[in-house]
Amino acid sequence: MAYATTDYYIRPEDGWVKVATNPAACMIRPTDFFPFRLAVTVSGAPAAGTRASGNVTFSGLPVAAETVTINGQVYTARATRALPFEFTIGTDAETTADFLLAAILADGNGTYTGIDAGVGVVTIQATSAGVAGNAVTLAENATNTTVSGAVLTGGVDEVHGLDYGRGGDGLRETIVMPASMTGEVYLRIDRPPSSSPDKMHFGVITN
């Protein structure tokens, strides 16, 4: 039986990369001790998840000392921002939304981010895809201010069939899948190795 080894250098931004069409006839050999994910699917590339999102809308100006709260973090309206987690009251709804977005991007809390400021509307998004983002809360106690709901919505988990192989521990070991497994094999890098900060090396052995 003939064996062939194919080298793959995969970066986090590459997403899921197909490396084999028959999991039962391949082995995956990572060369680094860093986290990666291996998925076996039966219907093409794994589907990316969706980040939960929501809106803060200004129909006019809030009053100084009033607040917008995102996942427990309070942002306080001020005539002029002087401290973290404060935002400046603008000259109209649009500039106020811009100032709130700027405060969110500057201060954040690791659970959400502001991604856009339209005409008086700030869009809030969970930092990662998945249903966990649907638990990020929104609230306001401010004049001329509304939120889209009590929590962000629309978060959907990534779908990629059967997980198999290494996750957070990132051990360097050869992965051999069960002979009964069928489908396509995809690899994704969660974090690149510090020794090669933009990519991770895999050897995929097939027969």
Condensed to tens digits (0 to 9), the pLDDT of residues 8-25 reads 888 878 878 888 888 888
Max intra-chain CA distance, the chain: 76
pLDDT score for 101: 97
Angle at 149 between CA 47 and CA 135, to 5 degrees: 50
pLDDT at site 103:
97
The reported pLDDT for the residue numbered 187 is 81
Can you read off the two tokens belonging to residue 144? 């001329």
- Whether residue 176 is predicted with pLDDT greater than 80 in this model: the reply is no
Residue range 153-162, pLDDT digits in tens: 999 887 655 5
Residues 98 and 87: beta-carbon distance below 8 Å: no
For residue 69, what pLDDT is reported?
Answer: 97
Look at residue 181 and tell me whether its pLDDT is greater than 70. Answer: yes
CA–CA dist 124, 109 (Å, integer):
12
Mean pLDDT of 161-189: 66
Is pLDDT of 38 > 60?
A: yes
Whether domain 4-47+160-206 has CATH 3.30.70: no
Q: Can you count the helices (H) and strands (E) in the chain?
A: 1, 16
pLDDT band, very low/low/confident/very high, at 33 (cuts 50, 70, 90):
low
Predicted TM-score of the model (pTM): 0.65
- How does strand 138-141 pair with strand 36-41? unpaired
Q: Which residue has the higher pLDDT, 115 or 2?
A: 115
Residue range 110-134: mean pLDDT, rounded:
93
Tell me what pLDDT residue 167 has. Answer: 45
State residue 68's pLDDT score.
98
pLDDT band at 204 (very low <50, low <70, confident <90, very high): confident
Cα distances from 65 to residues 26, 79, 80, 121, 170, in angstroms, run 62, 9, 11, 20, 47
| Token pair for 197 | 């900060």
pLDDT of amino acid 42? 59
What pLDDT, on the 0 to 100 scale, is given for residue 165? 45
Distances (CA, A) of 146 to 60, 62, 138: 10, 11, 10
Q: How far apart are CA 191 and CA 108, in angstroms?
A: 22
Asked if residues 10 and 189 have their Cβ atoms less than 8 Å apart, the reply is yes
Distance, CA of 61 to CA of 89 (rounded, Å)? 7
Contact 7, 196 (CB under 8 A): no
C-alpha 150/C-alpha 55 separation (Å) is 10
- What distance in Å separates the CA atoms of residue 178 and residue 183, rounded to the nearest whole number? 12
Q: Which helix (DSSP H) or strand (DSSP E) does residue 100 occupy?
A: helix 93-107
Pick the residue with more confidence: 4 or 63? 63
d(CA 69, CA 67) in angstroms, rounded, equals 6
Asked if the model's pLDDT at residue 170 lies above 60, the reply is no
